Structure 1
Amino acid sequence: MKHLTILVPAAQTSFNTFACIGGAYDIFNRANTFRKANGKEPVFHVELAGASEKSEVNNGLLTIKPEVYISSVRKTDLIIIPAISHDFKKPEKENALLASWIEKQYKNGAEVASMCTGAMILASTGLLDGKNCSIHWGSADSLRNLFPKVIVKPDSLITDEHGIYTNGGGYSFLNLIIYLIEKYYDRETAIYCSKIYQIEIERQKQSAFTIFTGQKSHEDEVVKKAQAYLEDNFREKISIEELSQKFAVGRRNFDRRFIKATGNTPIEYLQRVKIESAKKAFEATRKNVNEVMYEVGYSDEKAFREVFKKITGLSPLGYKKKYSKETAVY
């Protein structure tokens, strides 16, 4: 039987930390029960492990006690890192011991999966350098700034690379659990767990859930002014060449600075601003696709549809049907 270690951080916790721990512990054990009921051997011995006697959130409102200390886990096959608090800068207190232990176990053959902001702990080990990483869209900028060698993929729900798995934000950790169950158990067990816990199987993107607020956590004042201009005038026809001249910066240098500061080219940033406005219109008004398209500055339906789907993962009509208050069920 393989060994699954679900880590219990000693500090930097949030309510989502406990949700990830409880969800993973419950669903993996249910997968084992299903296997036994069908005459098969369980795949994992599941343990909660930490570097302290207990972990708590909100001044002890919720407390979890690890079953074992990580020092007693000499060999494990899969490590799950739950989400942590969003104000992470570096591993604090015993969490530094967890990071060191994760690195050692990975080099000893273990696979590692991070949930949401748990990617921060994983990235601090250096194991994500040069690798793709998914995380909650609201923490993507922080991850880029803290760990510039990590290839951040905020649109992806799950990444799977060299025995390292990461996933997006919030309760999408449930999709990662189903993904891992299919990988380690089988398709039948994954489908069973998805039905029991009512988790949508095969979801691959978190794009539709992203709320684009503009990447402003940088120090380039020229780029910040350019961002503000794009956000205030996105309905107009904007020439990026003229925009760079407006701020007295050569076009190539302007593009380079913009990408470094925001992770997007100026054109991509403008597209995201337009599509975010379109999303809000679909959610809150009765306007049809063409009306919204013209409102946000597009005149070519094909181009609008292609950019919308690239950014959200859904067609404009598909998004409208899913999120419009006209189709809401009460």
Structure 2
Amino acid sequence: MSERCLEIGLLLYPGAQLAAVHGLGDLFTVANRMAAGQGRKGLPRLRVSHWQADEAGCVRRVFDSLPQGDGAPQVVILPPCLDDDAEQPLADCYRDWLREQHRGGVLLASVCVGAFALAEAGLLDGRTVTTHWALAAQMAARFPLVQVLPERMVIDDGDLITAGGLMAWTDLGLALVTRLLGPTIAAETARFLVVDLNRESQRHFSSFAPSLDHGDAAVLAVQRWLQGEGGAEASLADMAARAGLGERTFLRRFRSATGMKPTEYCQQLRVTKARELLEFTRQSIEQVAWQVGYGDSGAFRKVFTRLVGLSPGDYRRRFGTAAR
């Protein structure tokens, strides 16, 4: 009886990160090895192929780990991209091919910028997705029918799976192994590759990048003042006075310009400063809380954990560089 295979296609669109392409191929090779070592009957062998548009604009298979095989992919992955123009629209042939694959029942998956291609093809409308945390705002603005959750590492929406930042290809690969070969093989694959299984959040990798190009000079002046103060001890009355506006008008214009309430904005600034102190100093968490404007360290811990996804202590243990 011939071996049952399940083909995973990797789309080599312009600028696709080859490290992720080849890394995913290696991950699926290891998964096949783990499955064979288990001696479990009925598991398919994962076959990896690469797909790329030719000069005529036809998307074709250009590599196959089992070249004697036939058929079509059951999964197609859009890898991340490192090019400066990574968010430029894909050629029509790629978008048309993705729509055709989806109509045919193929599971589509993306990492980082790859989600933009799925959105351009109209496949993410009404869906909840993730992408690199630094691109979330841009994606939400370009594709208002898509709900973007940048804090999530992987979102499995059945026929569509999206993964977060550049290295989230490992998370996507393991999620696919879990679905296709089962959680035991996925756990053994992760253990062999020495990578974490089931990472849920990318919030603790993100950084606060406020909008400064909104064109509201009064709000921008307050933002620059808050940046200098680290967001500490800034009351609504102080901010409105510095903007030369009434409090209600200031609230409306600040939220319109930044997409956030002033209190939320100040929390982000305080937590950003706290992250620096936790990474590069040996100050206690109570000292850090006080320095960024929190008299109650318990309140600081709650805000920090909510925004970062890790407690201050866990964050320091993971990212701290100060001498111990």
TM-score normalised according to structure 2 size: 0.84
Identity of aligned residues (%): 29
8 A contact 2:87–2:113 mirrored in 1: no
**SS of the residue 2:161 aligns to:** strand
Deviation of the 1:174 alpha carbon: 0.6
CA distance in 2, matches of 1:313, 1:291: 21
Give 2:53's aligned residue.
Answer: 51
Give 2:200's aligned residue.
Answer: 204
CA distance in 1, matches of 2:101, 2:286: 54
Q: 2:157 aligns with which of 157, 161, 164?
A: 161
* AA at the equivalent of 2:44: P
Give 2:33's aligned residue.
Answer: 33
Deviation of the 1:183 alpha carbon: 1.6
Q: Which moved more, 1:122-131 or 1:298-307?
A: 122-131
CA distance in 1, matches of 2:126, 2:9: 25
Give 1:91's aligned residue.
Answer: 89
Give 2:280's aligned residue.
Answer: 284
Deviations 1:276-327 (A, max 9, x none): 1001011111111111101111111221001100111111112122222246
Give 1:148's aligned residue.
Answer: 144
8 A contact 2:230–2:273 mirrored in 1: no
Unaligned runs of 5+ in 2: 56-60, 65-69
Runs of 4+ in structure 1 displaced over 6 angstroms?
A: none
Q: Quote the RMSD (CA, aligned, Å).
A: 2.7
Deviation of the 1:204 alpha carbon: 0.5
Q: Which moved more, 1:245-254 or 1:111-120?
A: 245-254
Q: Which moved more, 1:261-270 or 1:98-107?
A: 261-270
**SS of the residue 1:213 aligns to:** coil
Deviations 1:116-148 (A, max 9, x none): 111121221122223222222222232233223
* AA at the equivalent of 1:50: Q
Deviation of the 1:32 alpha carbon: 2.3
8 A contact 1:144–1:150 mirrored in 2: yes
Change in 2 beyond 3 A, CA 1:81/1:309: same
Deviation of the 1:86 alpha carbon: 4.7
**SS of the residue 2:62 aligns to:** coil
Give 1:215's aligned residue.
Answer: 211
**SS of the residue 1:199 aligns to:** coil
Larger radius of gyration: 2
Give 2:58's aligned residue.
Answer: none
Change in 2 beyond 3 A, CA 1:236/1:44: closer
8 A contact 1:75–1:105 mirrored in 2: no
CA distance in 2, matches of 1:75, 1:255: 55
1:231 aligns with 2:223: no
8 A contact 1:321–1:327 mirrored in 2: no
1:181 aligns with 2:185: no
Deviations 1:250-290 (A, max 9, x none): 66665555455444332222111110100101111111111
**SS of the residue 2:89 aligns to:** coil
